[in-house]
Structure 1
Amino acid sequence: MDELRRQGLDKMKEVYGWDMPDIPGDYFKYTIDHLFGTIWTRPELSMRDRRLLLLGAVSALGLDEILEIQTSAALKNGELTEAELREVAIFITHYVGWPLGQRVNKHVEMAVAKQNEARRTKEPSND
């Protein structure tokens, strides 16, 4: 595996929190080598900056699957708090409109609930 592929796979793991296997094919090559190996690794923006920009873009496009992934990853990686994500939903709603903003809010609340449930299952019981 070449260095660009390794760098892309490592960055994707950092962004999303899971290991992606190396898959053959041009589409995967452009996704991993270019998007994650070259674009996501540029030093001018922080991971948090990129996450906020991505949340804005996918919110405007109404991309629910990506919203679900991005809100969960932002919480999991500690890039945004529950309160900050909720504020993102409120702010974005005023620019993308209420129907799309409601979708953002829905995914924020789902991510928060999922994270809180994961925390509860990890905490020892006081019974």
Structure 2
Amino acid sequence: MNDRYQRGRAVMDEVYGPGFSAALDGQSGPFLKETVEHLFGEVWNRPDLSTRDRRLLVLGATAAFGRADLVQVQARGALASGDCTPDELHESVLQLAFYVGWGNATSVQEGIARAVAETTTAAEPNQD
């Protein structure tokens, strides 16, 4: 693996949580290579917007697709990195509803609720 690819994987782990890029092990192809090297190694790594700023932009764009699964990935990353609190993510649903439509906002709420539930469950001490 080259330096750009390694840097991209490191940024992916910053954006989505430690170990996220490990899911890429054993995968290859031009789309994956450009995603890791260019999108994460270069674009997400640029200095003029913070990771939080970029995440909120992606969350807004993703909301327009009405894809709860993609929103969940962004919300999970926001919670893991400390970029957003559960309350901030829930507030974003209301803000987005007026721009992406109520139906798409329903999917945004679903993705955020799942991510918050996962994070809350993972943070709870084991009762065994």
TM-score calculated relative to the size of structure 2: 0.88
2:88 equivalent to 1:88: no
Unaligned runs of 5+ in 2: none
Aligned-pair identity (%): 39
Residue 48 of structure 1: how far off its partner (Å)? 0.4
Residue 23 of structure 1: how far off its partner (Å)? 3.5
Instruction: Tell whether the 8 Å contact from 2:68 to 2:110 is kept in structure 1 after alignment.
Output: no
C-alpha distance in structure 2 between counterparts of 1:35 and 1:102, whole Å = 28
**Equivalent residue letter for 1:9:** R
C-alpha distance in structure 1 between counterparts of 2:98 and 2:36, whole Å = 33
Aligned residue runs from structure 1 range 61-72, under 5 A: 61-72=65-76
Cα deviation digits, residues 80-113 of structure 1 (max 9, x gap)? 0011001101100111111001111111111111
Question: Aligned to 1:43, what secondary structure does the other structure show?
Answer: coil
C-alpha distance in structure 1 between counterparts of 2:89 and 2:28, whole Å = 35
C-alpha distance in structure 2 between counterparts of 1:109 and 1:46, whole Å = 24
The correspondence for 1:115, drawn from 97, 112, 119, is 119
Cα deviation digits, residues 44-101 of structure 1 (max 9, x gap)? 1101001100000000112222111111111111100011001101100111111001
Counterpart for residue 3 of structure 2: 3
The correspondence for 2:103, drawn from 92, 99, 103, is 99
Residue 35 of structure 1: how far off its partner (Å)? 0.8
Counterpart for residue 62 of structure 2: 58
Higher RCO structure, 1 or 2 (CA under 8 Å, sep 6+):
2
